[in-house]
Amino acid sequence: MSLNEYLILSGIIFSLGLIGVLRRKNLLMLFFATEIMLNAVNIGMVAISKFHGDLTGQIFAFFIIAVAASEVAVGLGLLILLYKRKNTVNLDSIASMKG
Amino acid sequence: MFEVVAFYLFSFLTIGMFSITVMTNNALYALSSLAAGMIFISAFFFLLDADFLGVVQIVVYTGAIMALYAFGMMFFDYSKEIKEKVNNPRLAFVLTGMTALLIVIMFTIPVIGESAQKGLYPIHESYGNIQDIGLVLFTKYLIPFEVAAVMLLVAMIGGIILAGKKMDISYSEMSEEDIGIYEKELAEIAKDKK
C-alpha cells in the first residue's frame, strides 16, 4: 500500500462528512458529520506519519482526538440548552436574526 | 497481500458505514453506524503501525463520545423520523460551488518547501510505537499536552454547567431578575434550616 491510497480514502471520507454538513438540518446529525470529517483528517495524518517515518502526524492526530472529545462535551451541553429553550434541535429554529 | 485485502475491506466498510450516517433519516441508525465506522477506522491505524492511536480511537470514540451522544439523544425526542426540509435550494448550489472552488485551490497550491519533507521526530524502529509516542509527547509536545489537559477540564466543567445538574432549573436559561428571585428563595430556605 502506498501513501496515495490512504490519502484518497481520507479524501473520500472527508467529502462524505462535508456532504453531511451541507445537507443536514438537524444539529445532532451535523455533529456526527463533523466527527466523520475529524476522523478522515486523522487517517491522513497517521498515513503521512507512517510513510514519511515521522511521529509528528501521530501526535497531531492524538491532539485532534482530544479536541473532538471536548467539542462533543461542550456541544452537547449547548444542544441540550437549545432543546430546553426551543423544544427542537433544528438548525432553522436558531435563525432569529433577519439578514 | 494481507495488508491490501485488509485495507480494501476496511475502506469499503468505513465508507459504507459513514454514508449510512450521512444519508439515513433515523437517528439511531446514524449513531450506531457512526460507532461502527469509528471502530473500522482504528483498523487503519493498526495497519499503519500506530497501535497507540488505534487503541485511543476505540476507547475515546466508541467508549466516551458515543456514550455522550447516546446520553444526549435521550434528552431529545427521536422516536419519530427526522424531517429535514431544505427550503432554499439556491444555498446548496452556492455552498457546493464554493466547496468545489476550495478543492481546486487546494490542488493547485504547489507543495511548500522541501523542509517539511525532512521530518521533525523520526520513528525509532527499535522502540515500539507506544514508547516512541510517549517519548515525543512528554518531551517535545509537553506544553501542548498540558494545554490539552486544561482544555478537557474546561470542556468538562462547561458541559456540566450547560447541561445542568437540576434539569428543571438552569441559570443560563433564566433572566437576571429570575436568578435574583431564585437565589433569595434559596437563601431563605437556608435560613429556615438554621
Domain that holds residue A71: 3-88
Q: So what's the pLDDT on residue B15?
A: 93
Q: So what's the pLDDT on residue B166?
A: 60
CA atoms within 13 A on the CB side of A21: 16
Residues B149-171, mean pLDDT to the nearest whole number: 79
Rounded distance between C-alpha atoms, residue A38 and residue A42, angstroms: 6
Q: So what's the pLDDT on residue B151?
A: 93
Cβ pair A36:B48 closer than 8 A: no
Q: Helix (H, G, I), strand (E, B), or coil: what is residue B88? A: coil
A90: nearest CA partner in chain B: B84
Q: So what's the pLDDT on residue A85?
A: 77
Query: Which residue carries 432553522 as its cell?
Result: A92
C-alpha cell at B22: 450521512
A85: nearest CA partner in chain B: B173
CATH code at A32?
A: 1.10.287.3510
Mean pLDDT check: name the lowest of A40-49, B65-74, B105-114.
Answer: B105-114
On whether the CB atoms of residues B73 and B34 are closer than 8 A, the answer is no
Quote ipTM for the complex.
Answer: 0.89
Cβ pair A33:B21 closer than 8 A: yes
- Residue A96 domain flag: no
- Residue A97 domain flag: no
Q: Helix (H, G, I), strand (E, B), or coil: what is residue A26? A: strand
Identify the H or E element spanning A87.
none
Give yes or no for residue B105 having a pLDDT over 90: no
Cβ pair A17:B76 closer than 8 A: no
- Residue A94 domain flag: no
Q: Does A33 touch chain B (CB under 8 A)?
A: yes
C-alpha cell at B169: 432549573
Mean pLDDT check: name the lowest of A26-30, B155-159, B176-180.
Answer: B176-180
pLDDT band at B89 (very low <50, low <70, confident <90, very high): confident
**Count of all residues that appear for chain B in the document:** 194
Residue of A1, A43, A80 lying closest to B41 (CB–CB): A43
Q: Does A12 touch chain B (CB under 8 A)?
A: yes
Rounded distance between C-alpha atoms, residue B101 and residue B107, angstroms: 10
Rounded distance between C-alpha atoms, residue B143 and residue B19, angstroms: 37
Handedness of CA A87, A94, B95, B108 (dihedral sign): negative
Residue of B4, B122, B155 lying closest to A74 (CB–CB): B155
Helices (H), chain B: 2-23, 27-47, 51-57, 66-75, 89-108, 115-118, 129-139, 142-163, 176-193
C-alpha cell at B142: 509537553
Cβ pair B27:A42 closer than 8 A: no
Rounded distance between C-alpha atoms, residue B61 and residue B68, angstroms: 10
Give per-residue burial for A4-22: e unless 16+ CB within 10 Å, then b: eebeebbeebbebbbbbbb
Q: Does A1 touch chain B (CB under 8 A)?
A: yes
Q: From the CB of residue B89, how many other CB atoms can be counted at a distance below 10 Å?
A: 7
Rounded distance between C-alpha atoms, residue B165 and residue B98, angstroms: 42
**Count of all residues that appear for chain A in the document:** 99
Domains with residue ranges and CATH for chain B = 1-108 (1.20.120.1200)
- Residue A53 domain flag: yes
Give yes or no for residue B77 having a pLDDT over 70: no
Report the number of distinct structural domains present in chain A: 1
On whether the CB atoms of residues B66 and B38 are closer than 8 A, the answer is yes
- Answer with the residue of higher pLDDT: B186 or A67: A67
Report in angstroms the alpha-carbon separations of A44 from A8, A10, B35, B79, B177.
9, 6, 19, 36, 51
Residues B10-36, mean pLDDT to the nearest whole number: 90
Identify the H or E element spanning A93.
none
Scan residues 56-85 of B and list those with Cβ closer than 8 Å to A: 56-57, 60-61, 64-65, 68-69, 71-73, 75-76, 82, 84-85
Q: From the CB of residue B117, how many other CB atoms can be counted at a distance below 10 Å?
A: 9
Q: Does A95 touch chain B (CB under 8 A)?
A: no
**How many A/B residue pairs have CB atoms within 8 Å?**
195
Q: Helix (H, G, I), strand (E, B), or coil: what is residue A25? A: coil
Rounded distance between C-alpha atoms, residue B109 and residue B123, angstroms: 29
Q: Percentage of residues in chain B with pLDDT exceeding 70?
A: 82
Residue of A16, A55, A85 lying closest to B136 (CB–CB): A55
Task: For B120-144, write each residue's pLDDT tens digit.
Answer: 777 777 777 888 888 888 988 999 9
